[in-house]
């Protein structure tokens, strides 16, 4: 979309805002009122979310969008199968922003589109479910929080562990003092991702609107090994493993330690396993976050190794009276002698997170992953990546995470946008 059209769309959505808000207020005040959803980004995750929403009582998916026409049509068919209904599909989600029947936009595109789409949707009066990481850079997260407040919209972050029953119960046990004062969390991710190889510059396939896929990001030639999914490993669109699986771990670590923004962040690692392929982000990375009050988080990822000891995702808390392990759908608490003194295994989390979101819209109840909480966790991941990319230990303002006394690192707080695509509230 060229600047002219974007401006038109922004002005249009702002004008629509009041109208849409009224329609939402009219539609979704009662406890059982129908909620109408549109979704954009119909890869594996977007299709899963749209199917999940369509499966909820009195929630209806009206339309699904993907810049890849084949994916939009495929997702419309799968989501339609849930209730044997016809779901609309298209490539450009912006047209749904003008539909006053739609209450919610679900965003599951590549990361560089999350915040721009969320702000556009909130300005158009839609509530938003946005996948993690909520932003491509810290400034975008600040804008999303501001948009949620300005337009009075619900923005739920896709950190669904916040609604996982075992995590909710385990975190409550920590808060009650089950392991004393909690001062350290150590989290891991292990994966056996393959090499990206070396891409070739080719024309984009005819079913893909590459111009719209790029959207807010400055233009780059199309390469045949980036779309789909592999954009995760290029800084221009993605945020590496820390901005991928890391967001889930750091989010729960932060909740267990009851901390917000750090005072110091360091990171090290590299592209060690496949040093010569196209991937830019590290496949092996450690990031350490230090907080006020004598607390810290350590995150470690080994993304491309075929073997590893222990679990794929793991999170351990350490306290003055014991330790706690949060793994999969269970948690276990140990005393200082290593004896188990409590556990809980409870399945679920995915559906609960969606239910929490629609309940919040209907009944004005709190979100489990309100955008400000999502932003805090995502900022930690961005800071870890900034420390990695600059090779420096960052000092941060504990009230907002901003980088102190390092203008070069502070430049990563935002990004360059394609002209005409800057995010405006
Ligand atoms: N919460 C979770 O557990 C979880 C799990 C998986 C993925 N995710 C997140 O979901 C997002 C998508 O992941 P994925 O694995 O499905 O990636 P993917 O690359 O396979 O799919 C992304 C889709 O978005 C589409 N897209 C990009 N820009 C668009 C636009 N402007 N309008 C419409 N469609 C657009 C792409 O064409 C693609 O089909 C990522 O941000 C990822 O971090 C979250």
Average pLDDT over residues 58-80: 98
pLDDT over threshold 60, residue 15: no
351 belongs to a structural domain: no
Cβ(378) – ligand 1 distance below 6 Å: no
pLDDT over threshold 60, residue 5: no
Is this structure's pTM higher than 0.75? yes
353 belongs to a structural domain: no
50 belongs to a structural domain: yes
Cβ(267) – ligand 1 distance below 6 Å: no
Task: List the residue whose alpha carbon is closest to atom 28 of ligand 1.
Answer: 213
Average pLDDT over residues 155-178: 98
Q: Which residue, among 301, 291, 299, 269, has the nearest Cα to 391 in the 3D structure?
A: 269
Return the SS3 of 392: coil
Q: What backbone torsions phi and psi does residue 32 show, to the nearest 5 degrees?
A: -120, 15
| 338-365 pLDDT per residue, tens | 999 999 988 989 999 999 999 999 999 9
Q: Which residue, among 327, 283, 338, has the nearest Cα to 186 in the 3D structure?
A: 327
Residues 240 and 341 in one domain: yes
Task: List the residue whose alpha carbon is closest to atom 23 of ligand 1.
Answer: 41
pLDDT class of 31 with cuts at 50, 70, 90: low
How far is it, in rounded angstroms, from Cα 277 to Cα 184? 35
Q: What percent of the chain has pLDDT over 70?
A: 93
Q: What is the CATH number of the domain that holds 76?
A: 3.40.50.720
Residues 180 and 88 in one domain: no
Residues 137 and 192 in one domain: no
Among residues 101, 136, 161, which one ends one of the domains? 161
Looking at residue 72, its pLDDT comes to 98
pLDDT over threshold 60, residue 10: no
Q: Which DSSP string do the residues of 187-205 spell out, in sequence order? A: EEEE-BPPP-----B-PPP
The tokens for 183 are 């001062």
Number of domains in the chain: 2
Residues 95 and 177 in one domain: no
Average pLDDT over residues 147-152: 98
Ligand 1 mean position to 231 CA, how many Å? 10
Task: List the residue whose alpha carbon is closest to atom 13 of ligand 1.
Answer: 45
- Domain, as residue range, for 311: 165-199+210-346+371-413
Average pLDDT over residues 29-47: 90
pLDDT class of 20 with cuts at 50, 70, 90: very low
Task: List the residue whose alpha carbon is closest to atom 33 of ligand 1.
Answer: 66
Residues 259 and 383 in one domain: yes
Residues 186 and 335 in one domain: yes
How far is it, in rounded angstroms, from Cα 85 to Cα 63? 11
pLDDT over threshold 50, residue 221: yes
Looking at residue 210, its pLDDT comes to 98
Residues 144 and 181 in one domain: no
Residues 181 and 122 in one domain: no
Cβ(344) – ligand 1 distance below 6 Å: no
24 belongs to a structural domain: yes
Which value, to the nearest 10 degrees, does the dihedral of the CA atoms of residues 315, 266, 241, 301 take? -50
Looking at residue 310, its pLDDT comes to 81
Ligand 1 mean position to 116 CA, how many Å? 14
359 belongs to a structural domain: no
Looking at residue 226, its pLDDT comes to 97
Cβ(111) – ligand 1 distance below 6 Å: yes
Residues 178 and 113 in one domain: no
pLDDT over threshold 80, residue 101: yes
116 belongs to a structural domain: yes
Cβ(237) – ligand 1 distance below 6 Å: no
Residues 287 and 401 in one domain: yes
pLDDT class of 30 with cuts at 50, 70, 90: low
Looking at residue 19, its pLDDT comes to 36
How far is it, in rounded angstroms, from Cα 149 to Cα 162? 21
Q: What is the CATH number of the domain that holds 236?
A: 3.30.360.10
Residues 320 and 290 in one domain: yes
Residues 179 and 292 in one domain: yes
Ligand 1 mean position to 43 CA, how many Å? 5
Cβ(45) – ligand 1 distance below 6 Å: yes
The H-or-E segment that residue 296 falls in is strand 295-302
420 belongs to a structural domain: no
Average pLDDT over residues 42-65: 98
69 belongs to a structural domain: yes
Q: At what angle do helices 245-257 and 371-390 cross, to 10 degrees?
A: 110
């Amino acid at each position: 979309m060229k600047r002219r059209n974007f401006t038109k769309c922004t002005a249009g959505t702002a004008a629509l805002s009041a109208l849409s808000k009224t329609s939402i207020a009219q539609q979704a005040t009662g406890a059982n009122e129908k909620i109408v959803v549109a979704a954009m980004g119909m890869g594996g995750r977007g299709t899963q979310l749209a199917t999940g929403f369509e499966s909820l009582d009195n929630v209806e998916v009206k339309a699904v969008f993907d810049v890849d026409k084949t994916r939009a049509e495929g997702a419309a068919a799968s989501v339609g199968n849930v209730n044997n209904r016809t779901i609309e599909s298209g490539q450009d989600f912006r047209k749904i922003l003008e539909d006053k029947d739609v209450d919610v936009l679900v965003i599951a595109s590549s990361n560089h589109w999350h915040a721009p789409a969320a702000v556009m949707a909130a300005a158009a009066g839609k509530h938003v479910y946005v996948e993690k990481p909520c932003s491509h850079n810290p400034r975008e997260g600040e804008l999303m929080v501001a948009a949620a407040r300005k337009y009075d919209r619900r923005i739920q972050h896709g950190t669904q562990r916040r609604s996982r029953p075992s995590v909710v119960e385990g975190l409550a046990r920590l808060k009650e003092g089950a392991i004393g004062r909690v001062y350290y969390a150590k989290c891991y991710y292990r994966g056996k991702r393959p090499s990206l190889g070396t891409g070739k510059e080719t024309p984009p396939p005819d079913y893909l609107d590459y111009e719209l896929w790029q959207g807010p990001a400055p233009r780059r030639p199309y390469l045949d090994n980036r779309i789909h999914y592999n954009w995760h490993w290029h800084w221009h669109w993605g945020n590496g493993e820390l901005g991928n699986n890391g967001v889930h771990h750091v989010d729960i670590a932060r909740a267990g330690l009851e901390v917000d923004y750090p005072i110091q962040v360091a990171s090290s690692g590299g592209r060690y396993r496949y040093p010569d392929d196209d991937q830019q982000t590290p496949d092996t990375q450690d990031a350490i976050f230090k907080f006020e009050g004598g607390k810290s988080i350590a995150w470690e990822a080994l993304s491309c190794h075929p073997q590893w000891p222990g679990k794929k995702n793991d999170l351990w808390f350490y306290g003055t009276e014991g330790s706690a392990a949060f793994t999969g759908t269970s948690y276990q608490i140990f005393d200082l002698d290593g004896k188990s003194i409590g556990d809980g295994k409870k399945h679920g989390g995915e559906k609960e997170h969606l239910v929490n979101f629609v309940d919040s819209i209907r009944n004005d109840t709190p979100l489990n992953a309100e955008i400000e909480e999502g932003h805090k966790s995502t900022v930690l991941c961005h800071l870890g990546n900034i420390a990695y990319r600059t090779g420096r230990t960052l000092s941060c303002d504990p009230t907002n995470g901003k980088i102190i006394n390092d203008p070069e690192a502070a430049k990563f707080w935002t990004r360059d946008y394609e002209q005409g695509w800057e995010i405006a509230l």
